[in-house]
């Protein structure tokens, strides 16, 4: 069975004249352990799709199943639990809590099962900086803390929205290497959103979005992060 099954997913913002169809009948599925890249121009609806996958927003119509759960049928409380247990989220702007240390930021997401916060930090190579506060870390380091926070609970899905958007190419490559390692070595399902076509080469599965619709959904052989240029 596929890990993700998405059927006719729609999301509209606003009403009447101001109505925007951010997602217009998206259907696709993703297997467990795949490294998925979602590509598309700005405003295509990539973030909207990712937010729906992560249970941060509710769809206007259509169904979305992740693992055993039908996400589109969950209540707000259940969505909260879904985010807590099953989803790891990495944002373009890290979104760490400035007044918690790196370690505490990770602990925030630590569950009963999964690894400990320190393990997660050493996985991203930041065990030495665990007692620093985010403003004392570089952008790349902050993003690694964010990734540690996302993976500490061993999520079903790791969702990343433009994770390298605010980083230079070398740091960006390191982050992507880290994400693909997580997928290859630890068997985590990773979905990365980007508008950078070059990054598409890293994917096992490439999904192209345009104007709220899925225009391509293809399996491919992934390249290694060292091989791509951007």
Ligand X SMILES: Nc1ncnc2c1ncn2[C@@H]1O[C@H](COP(=O)(O)OP(=O)(O)OP(=O)(O)O)[C@@H](O)[C@H]1O
The interface with another protein within residues 74-93 (CB under 8 A) comprises 76-77, 80-85, 87, 89, 91, 93
Site stretch for another protein (CB under 8 A), options 34-42, 105-113, 168-176, 193-201? 105-113
Query: If phi over 0 gives left and psi between -120 and 50 gives alpha, with beta otherwise, what is residue 125?
Result: left
Q: Which does 13 bind (CB under 5 to 8 A by kind): ligand X, Mg ion, another protein, none?
A: ligand X
Closest CA to 24 of 211, 218, 161: 211
Q: Could you give the string, one character per residue 171-200, with x where binding to ligand X holds by CB under 6 A and - elsewhere? A: ------------------------x-----
For position 128 contacting another protein by CB under 8 A, the verdict is: no
**What does the block give as tokens for 179?**
């994400």
Contact predicate 26/63, CB 8 Å: no
Site stretch for ligand X (CB under 6 A), options 41-49, 59-67, 101-109, 149-157? 41-49
Among all chains, which residue has been given the structure tokens 């990054």? Answer: 199
Q: Which does 45 bind (CB under 5 to 8 A by kind): Mg ion, another protein, ligand X, none?
A: ligand X
Q: Would you give the DSSP letter of residue 221?
A: P
Q: Which does 177 bind (CB under 5 to 8 A by kind): Mg ion, ligand X, another protein, none?
A: none
Burial degree of 113 (CB within 10 A; 0-12, 13-18, 19+): exposed
């Amino acid at each position: 069975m596929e890990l993700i099954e998405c059927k006719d997913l729609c999301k509209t913002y606003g009403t009447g004249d101001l109505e925007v169809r951010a997602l217009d009948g998206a259907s696709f599925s993703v297997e467990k352990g795949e490294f998925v890249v979602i590509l598309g121009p700005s405003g295509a609806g990539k973030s909207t799709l990712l937010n729906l996958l992560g249970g941060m927003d509710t769809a206007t119509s259509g169904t979305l199943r992740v693992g055993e759960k039908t996400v589109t049928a969950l209540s707000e409380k259940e969505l909260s639990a879904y985010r807590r247990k099953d989803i790891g989220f990495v944002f373009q702007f890290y979104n760490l809590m400035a007044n918690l240390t790196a370690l505490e930021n990770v602990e925030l997401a630590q569950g009963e099962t999964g690894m400990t916060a320190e393990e997660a930090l050493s996985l991203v190579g930041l065990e030495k900086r665990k007692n620093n506060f985010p403003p004392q870390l570089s952008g790349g380091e902050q993003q690694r803390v964010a990734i540690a926070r996302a993976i500490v609970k061993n999520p079903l899905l790791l969702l990343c929205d433009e994770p390298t958007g605010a980083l230079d190419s070398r740091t960006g490559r390191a982050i992507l290497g880290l994400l693909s390692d997580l997928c290859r070595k630890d068997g985590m399902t990773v979905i990365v959103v980007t508008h950078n076509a070059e990054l598409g080469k890293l994917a096992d599965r490439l999904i192209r979005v345009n104007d709220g619709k899925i225009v391509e959904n293809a399996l491919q052989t992934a390249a290694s992060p060292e091989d791509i240029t951007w």
